[in-house]
Amino acid sequence: MHNTYTKIIAGIHKYFKEARVDKAVIGVSGGIDSSLCLKLLVDTLGADNVTAILMPEKGITNEENMQHAKMLCNFLKVDYFTISINKFLTDFLTLPWKPNDLAQINTKARIRMIILYNFANTRNCLVVGTSNKTELMIGYGTKHGDLAVDIDIIGDLYKEDVFKLAEHLGLPNELIEKPPSAELYPGQTDEDELGLSYKEIDNVLKYIEKGTAKEELINKGLNPNSVHKVYRLVNINSHKTNPTPVISAKTKNL
Q: Is 71 in contact with 30 (CB distance < 8 Å)?
A: no
Confidence (pLDDT) at 254: 53
User: In the chain, which residues have pLDDT < 70?
Assistant: 252-254
Q: Is 224 in contact with 230 (CB distance < 8 Å)?
A: no
pTM equals 0.92
Residue 161 CA to residue 154 CA, distance in Å, equals 9
Neighbours of 147 (CB within 10 A): 19
Confidence (pLDDT) at 187: 76
Nearest in space to 159 (alpha carbons), one of 183, 188, 136: 136
Residue 101 CA to residue 107 CA, distance in Å, equals 10
Dihedrals φ, ψ of 172, to 5°?
-55, 145
Nearest in space to 184 (alpha carbons), one of 193, 196, 174: 193
> Residue 241 has what DSSP assignment?
T
Residue 218 CA to residue 234 CA, distance in Å, equals 17
The structural domains of the chain, ordered by start, are: 2-193 (3.40.50.620)
